[in-house]
Structure 1
Amino acid sequence: MARKSDDTTRRPGERVAKVMARAGLGSRREAEEWIAAGRVAVNGVVITTPAVNVLPQDKVTVDGKPLPARERTRLFLYHKPRGLITTRNDPQGRKTIFEVLPQTLPRLISIGRLDLGTEGLLLLTNDGGLARILELPETGWLRRYRVRAHGRVTQAQLDALRNGVEVEGVQYGPIEATLEREQASNVWLTFAIREGKNREVRRMMTALGRKVLHLRRIRIGPLHLGTLGSGAFRELTPDEVDALYRAGTAKRDAAPAGPRGQ
């Protein structure tokens, strides 16, 4: 039986939760929850804090089982359909994307989320470290959405969002929005945002007094949805993954001063 320890002595290496996430077991947050629950041991000693560094020669186990051999980093573009949620388990019993993805895929985690009624581009990976880099605010990837809403909106109203806006006590940063066209009683718009706060586009439209009828994410940074059909996915090549990783790391490291670049 593994012994318990709360030793958080500083040592070389990487945080154990990061190593677990990279092994494809789940997100770093999930790994930290397993640690807090006493399910993780390092060299036979149960740990209860994620503030532990491990080296390649250390033996990390979860529920007594060693971590799987690290897979190569894989990244998928997925066209999430409406009516699915992006968490692995849902207390309300709603269907998740992981229930409909092919079982032949590795264990994946989503990079960010799309709500139940939103479709479009979602990134999936087996590498928790890559997911964390691309999710960091410092990375600042531009996320572009196409919106169909009921009612009329002027370009002047949309331009006002460039200065940011407060909705229901939440402050949102600058938003680029463009009126594409009007069709009967509806309008088509594009929104470009960087923060990715929960339901941000929908709340912006509510602030304008308009109801979103259809919302699709079409771009994340340099990655485009393109012609990928609903429910379809495409795996990025190793070269594409490496380029994205380098770009994300460069943006993170360059972020401390001034506005974030695209």
Structure 2
Amino acid sequence: MSKTPASPKGKPAPKSQPRKAPSKPEGAASEGDRIAKVLSRAGVASRREAERMIAEGRVSVNGKKIDSPALNVTAADRISIDGQPLPEAEAPRMWLYYKPTGLVTSNSDEKGRKTIFDELPEDMPRVMTVGRLDLNSEGLLLLTNDGGIKRKLELPATGWLRRYRVRINGRPKDEDFAPLRKGLVIEGEKFQPMTVSLDRQQGANAWLTVGLREGKNREIRRAMEDIGYSVNRLLRVSYGPFQLGDLKPGDVEELRPRVVRDQLGLEPEVEKPAGRPTRSRGGKPAGKPGSKPAGKTPAKAGKPGGKPAAPRGDRPAQRNGGKRPIGKNPRR
């Protein structure tokens, strides 16, 4: 049996002690969530905007200003923005919004153009957009107060189908759209295959229904230009299971909390008493938080409730193949 080696002075060497993990930098946390994510979930800003606010020194944690988003925080931490305590996170909420043409989908515009936030009802809480629609595009835009929802729905992995009614100039044949169905590469950028159906010819223009599962900048317009056609009207009619229905330009409708939970797979929460309903620009209620969603059952994610009917004249149809969408009831 081996003996414990002696020390230089003849005394037994002390037993080895387990090595301690290196101490973490002050302010670091082994659990919790990143500070930018917490700010986003509280509806203060998107993650990117939150990181910018942190870099500007506007955010403090436990009384100390931070300048890096590389920090985890827990419920025990005290967070303030511009000296004001971080508001408690609200239950996730979503709205359907008919974005008119001529509005920019951003919080501010360097050219001084009007944004959608300039035109939303005054009683709306702070919201973020899910994706974008360019200046000359119109139709369904999803709004939410929850940065986690925004991020989830924008991820390519979510893969929700977005449908558009598209009017192009010219007299195309169905085979002209074969390159779009296969997938294009434009200026080194790969576009995923689209679904394209030629609905009708209307004078010098043709109406199409286009479906895609990603949202690159001006994707449909660029794809059409690549095969020789120009888009002169583009209207989004659905985003996953959510439909434009019969909303008119500028209208806003809040989705029922249960619909939001069911469609996004969120855990049930204790619902707070509903506040004042959001109102559309026309002054009519645009959907109470507790109102019954249109349709007997929510549409399945990624499969809108049917192919939009062909437009009458210059106005794209709002009907939905006889099925009611998640949103306002279409006209009969």
Structure 1 residue 15, shift from structure 2 partner: 1.0
**Equivalent AA in structure 1 for residue 233 of structure 2:** H
Q: Deviations over 1:195-225 (max 9, x none)?
A: 1100000001101111111000001011111
Distance 1:141 1:8, change over 3 A: farther
Residue 224 of structure 1 corresponds to 243
Gaps of 5+ in 1: 1-5, 248-260
**Equivalent AA in structure 1 for residue 78 of structure 2:** K
Residue 55 of structure 1 corresponds to 74
Structure 1 residue 8, shift from structure 2 partner: 7.0
**Equivalent AA in structure 2 for residue 101 of structure 1:** L
Distance 1:163 1:45, change over 3 A: same
More strand per residue: 1
Q: Deviations over 1:166-221 (max 9, x none)?
A: 12222111111111111111110111011110000000110111111100000101
Q: Describe how 1:131-146 pairs up with structure 2 within 5 A.
A: 131-146=150-165
* Structure with greater Cα Rg: 2
| Mean Cα deviation higher: 54-63 or 6-15 | 6-15
TM-score (norm 2): 0.71
Structure-1 separation of matches of 2:86 and 2:161: 35
Residue 199 of structure 2 corresponds to 180
Aligned to 1:116, the other structure's residue is in SS state: coil
Deviation >6 Å, runs of 4+: none
Gaps of 5+ in 2: 1-24, 267-301, 304-332
Aligned to 1:141, the other structure's residue is in SS state: coil
Structure 1 residue 10, shift from structure 2 partner: 4.7
Contact 1:8 1:51 in 2 (8 A): no
Q: Describe how 1:112-191 pairs up with structure 2 within 5 A.
A: 112-191=131-210
Contact 2:35 2:69 in 1 (8 A): yes
Structure-1 separation of matches of 2:81 and 2:157: 31
Q: Describe how 1:49-128 pairs up with structure 2 within 5 A.
A: 49-128=68-147
Higher relative contact order (CA 8 A, sep 6+): 1
**Equivalent AA in structure 2 for residue 105 of structure 1:** M
| Mean Cα deviation higher: 112-121 or 129-138 | 129-138
Identity of aligned residues (%): 51
Q: Deviations over 1:105-126 (max 9, x none)?
A: 1011111100000000000111
Distance 1:59 1:8, change over 3 A: closer
Contact 1:118 1:214 in 2 (8 A): yes
> Over the residues paired in the alignment, what is the CA RMSD in angstroms?
1.5
More helix per residue: 1
Structure 1 residue 70, shift from structure 2 partner: 1.8
